[in-house]
Amino acid sequence: MGNPSAYGILFLLELVLLPLAISSALQTLKKSSSSSSESSPIPADFLFGTASSSYQFEGAYLSDGKGLSNWDIFAHTPGRIFDGSNGDVAVDEYHRYLEDINIMDTLGVNSYRFSISWARILPRGRFGDVNFAGISYYNRLIDALLLKGIQPFVTLTHYDLPQELEERYGSWLSPESREDFAYYVDICFKHFGDRVKYWVTFNEPNMQAMDGYRTGLFPPARCSSTFGNCTYGDSEKEPFIAAHNIILAHATAVDIYRTKYQKEQGGSIGIVVQCVWFEPISNSTADKVAAERALSFFMNWFLDPVIFGKYPTEMTQILGSDLPAFCSHDKEKLKNGLDFIGINHYTSFYVQDCILSECEPGLGTTRAEGLCRHSQTKDGVPLGELVRASIHFVFQFYHETSNLISVALHPTAKTGELWWQLKYPEGFEKIVTYVKERYNNIPMFITENGYGQQENPNLSIAELLQDVRRVDYMSSYWDSLLTAIRKGADVKGYFVWSLLDNFEWTDGYTVRFGLYHVDYTTQKRTPKLSAAWFKQLLAKYKVAKGTM
């Protein structure tokens, strides 16, 4: 038995604090829906949607002629995924897409961002036949979306590619990858482009290059021993080789679309980049320069070549010949190589200069990363608001430490949240404004924004559905985005990550981002409080749906 007085405190917390938190979230909904939309900066054709990817959602990993992808092989390798799981079934959207489209329709979205599985279309890349069963699946998905007035917003590859390409020539480390990507996208434009008006070539190629070839956390799991636990790789050079080939593959895809399809089909094409905001850790000139350098090594690394035809100056100065060069033909092909920029944003970091000052080892401190240390704290204080521990964990830590007040005031221990995701909505406005100013206000879509919670088997379904912190995070980030739009940022849409809890890459099923809870045993979808928030937000803006 525990201390009776402790149980009294716990009872009061459960009785008072949790209902208050839920009530606060509902008040947020009420205020959001009651405020006038007459002064809204959101245009009538703004896209509101949810986002997904083929490997994280579809499942059916060998159904109807699909080939093995790099993620199929990677996730089946022991030790790669935190909980030992894989995406063989995921949330089974391959078989449940009609159910999920009905859910989207109930929410009121007018767009759905999903990715095509390259290995479902071309099981062996250009070295094998087209899988028309895969073509048929995506045709059914697209048609079903359009019947509900939901615009398909299609990503051509979201980290996954046919394993055949990895085994034949090392995928993105070889220029051959560009030929395969060109062959693949041409098929997609031909079969789906009459109904798809929004195309994304790559999702987060910056993360693909860093996690696949620097840290080795993603396939093909290549890195140097100082960066990760890999059996092969060169973290100082290979990320830039892979990135170079991806950038040129993007340019080739855009060229194919613009010369063969865009005029007739009337769509647009862009790329999606993971965009973290970097805040200088001090007011020193060196740290301010380091923050700009961090943006260049993280994000501008891809956007500058695609828009300006060259790598950022900060990268060429530090990396020299380790950064591949673009020939004159490449430069001309790259310039203005997109119609829109996709922004995935979740969090922000402090940055400290490591060129003129000495830094402790850590994220960002190497030459390959730009010599600027990334941190989420300054003098022990986090950037922005540290997310509160859940009521459950307050209970648990009281018993473990007999120090309830300490845990409540310093929720840095087991909060049930993601270590890297702090609530700093100012960073959202700042990154959108930065992209606006650096890239001449090219149209932008917020292609991902969402909030992840660590799986906690001790919480009941009822507790999981009351995702107050997700509502708080998303409402504050939405407000921050509105501020950027009011200041002139040409943002054309906003997609939540994600409609459903799903397979979250190396975290497996231990992290939940969904507006809908998924029981992974039964695949039952259940709306959370955040789904009600999003539905009410869309109702406020009177989201217009399209017609076939």
> Mind telling me the catalytic residues?
204, 448
| Number of CB atoms found within 10 A of residue 402's CB | 11
Question: For tokens 């509105």, what's the residue?
Answer: 482
Cβ burial, residue 201 (10 Å; 0-12/13-18/19+): buried
3-state secondary structure 163-224: HHHHHHHCHHHCCHHHHHHHHHHHHHHHHHCCCCCEEEEEECHHHHHHHHHCCCCCCCCCCC
CA atoms within 13 A on the CB side of 68: 11
Alpha-carbon distance 247 to 322, whole Å? 16
Whether 192 contacts 154, CB under 8 Å: yes
DSSP-assigned letters across all residues of 128-173: S---HHHHHHHHHHHHHHHHTT-EEEEEEESS--BHHHHHHH-GGG
**CB-CB contact of 369 with 314 (8 Å):** no
Distance, CA of 175 to CA of 208 (rounded, Å): 17
Kindly report the number of other CB atoms within 10 A of residue 495's CB atom: 26
Task: At 440, list the tokens.
Answer: 């001449």
C-alpha 405/C-alpha 417 separation (Å) is: 19
Residue spans of alpha helices (H) in 259-327: 262-265, 285-295, 301-308, 313-319
With contact defined as beta carbons under 8 Å apart, do 352 and 287 qualify?
yes
Cα 232 from chain centroid (whole Å): 27
Q: Is residue 451 a contact partner of residue 470, using CB atoms and an 8 Å limit?
A: yes
User: What string of DSSP letters covers 355-398?
Assistant: SSS---S-TT-SGGGTSEEEESEETTEESSBPPPPPHHHHHHHH
What is the dihedral angle through the alpha carbons of 432, 433, 437, 443, rounded to the nearest 10 degrees?
40
DSSP type of residue 451: -
Amino acid identity of residue 117, one-letter, is S
d(CA 451, CA 444): 21
How far is the C-alpha of 111 from the C-alpha of 188, rounded, in Å? 19
Cα 305 to the center of its chain, rounded Å: 21
Of the candidates 234, 134, 199, 106, the residue with the CA atom closest to the CA atom of residue 531: 106
> Checking phi first, is residue 60 left (phi over 0); if not, alpha (psi -120 to 50) or beta?
left
